[in-house]
Structure 1
């Protein structure tokens, strides 16, 4: 059995241990507001050593000004309110001033000590809110940036979707397009496509990718796409010549952007009329190469040495290339979001694309593209994906039902 004195000593030791190890600062003030005792955490938080606090007016030492630097009258202080009323007072938006003159945000609770009905002092427990406030500010900033990003993404998406118009459908060509934006965390990219008919009935398709992300990339994409479309529409020059003119015009009009692109023109074969065979004539400005898919699922990459991307050197020489597009064969133009992966090169990506197409050669074109996206990009990735697919049909047979009705621009229907 412990004696009462031993129990009291044990209790005092326990209280001293708590005072010494608790993370919150604790003050004991006398009836005049002078510091009677202070725990180590209060010393650490305020920077005042014990000897500079004991018997000192705590309000005058630590609580003399508000957040904004204006004087803090003693009679408005929550600690003195507890002293005056004899009631516990809490405050969650106060500030103490460190010895070095910097403020520390605190929340505090002031509990008066009462003996024989008289207030003899107050115990003040306070918590440093610096880290919490920093976390709150960081969370607020993250929310603000997320809101701005979502707004920018929505605007960019609307801009991009407005520019990526439905393709024409000539009588014996079926043109299908797909655009899949990047994941929600990523910004909209500069991927684009185009497909239109020239006055002589030839079909022009284009695909490209502006360097960068966000609304700036989407705006640059719109400018470049519109410029290329206008220059390619009503002339019979080769794709390489048109890409060169586009590059020079972009420089002259201060469309300062870098972009990869393919411009292709699908023409009737001059030596084999009304037989379903077409010639694809294209020029490649640093873009992923085209691919031709046969009905049996075999495919060939139309690999050529690509020319410089747009925006690097407008006077750079550009080259045209040609390949036959037979009946029921499909020409595919894609952006790098479909084939590129971290840690893998473009050759691996193209091989993966060819593997995914192996059983799709005879599928309807819409089904082919949807299945391809499911296989290669089942979830929205880090980059946008654009695809243009063109399937040729024999001109001596009706347009297949799965291709849908003809859709021609005014003047060509």
Structure 2
């Protein structure tokens, strides 16, 4: 009601002001005819606006608020009219190729729960380390040429192996974990001692090329997945993708030592030290290194010859990267030795420590087709054990006493 009254007063005031102005214009003869009618309408609107502005002046804050509201409405309109796009534009190209990595462990005769493939760019770029627990997995590679190395488990999952030179294909090396030097009961100092290396199986592929065509195919696959919805690499169709197949073979082989003893009944316990074998293996080159080492091992329970209570054999075992590589410079120079350290059954526990050059006694079992070492065998003929007077605890003890605490020395 109050609003209606204000509007009525405004209209009345406008009419009065317009009437006075028309009287002035008519008295002076300024208008005539149709022009007067048009002017009357315009004059009436101006007068009404003048009265409104005087009675109800405009608020500048209200004007700003109206402008802000208008801007918000425009933004809301723009947002609601936008079309949601996928996270990756289907029309854009990716800069990588999806490559399937497949491991086949049949030749290695093992089923590891983890495996590693390393892709080394031939241009010297940073290598890509791909760890997986699946026999078939997928890796993304940029266009280029790569050398590939694959092996069981990963760098930090071995007990007796460490790795160095991993930044280059030519220098990646697995080496037996160094141990503290030891001194035998007989006083022999043994240096360069290492742990027994774990079983390591390796394969390598040189100059694997990721082409521009592979990248283009991956781009098409990505667009197809976006069209169909989310597709994980696990269930994606990889039958037409580029593929790297790694078939690792063992780079570490078992070694066995058998010693024939005359007077075995005088031996309380025995340990062995094998020296001169390779202490590391180059994964990229696929060969043992010329760096030698020494490994300590125990001999197990004795086996007496049939019908004898005096003579028999003891056997021990170890693992190794194999013999030193023989090239033109080192051929015939490698020497391998075996220290047999026995504690006898007398009360004084006398030490018996003969040393044998076993260079010509080592027998290698090699798979000629695969060119891999299967096992080493060393057999030493009759060794005369000194005769001693047994004490009450003269039986052979397979739990050999320590030569001193061993500790890992990490290079």
TM-score by length of 1: 0.20
Between Structure 1 and Structure 2, the one with more helix by share is 1
TM-score (ref. length: structure 2): 0.20
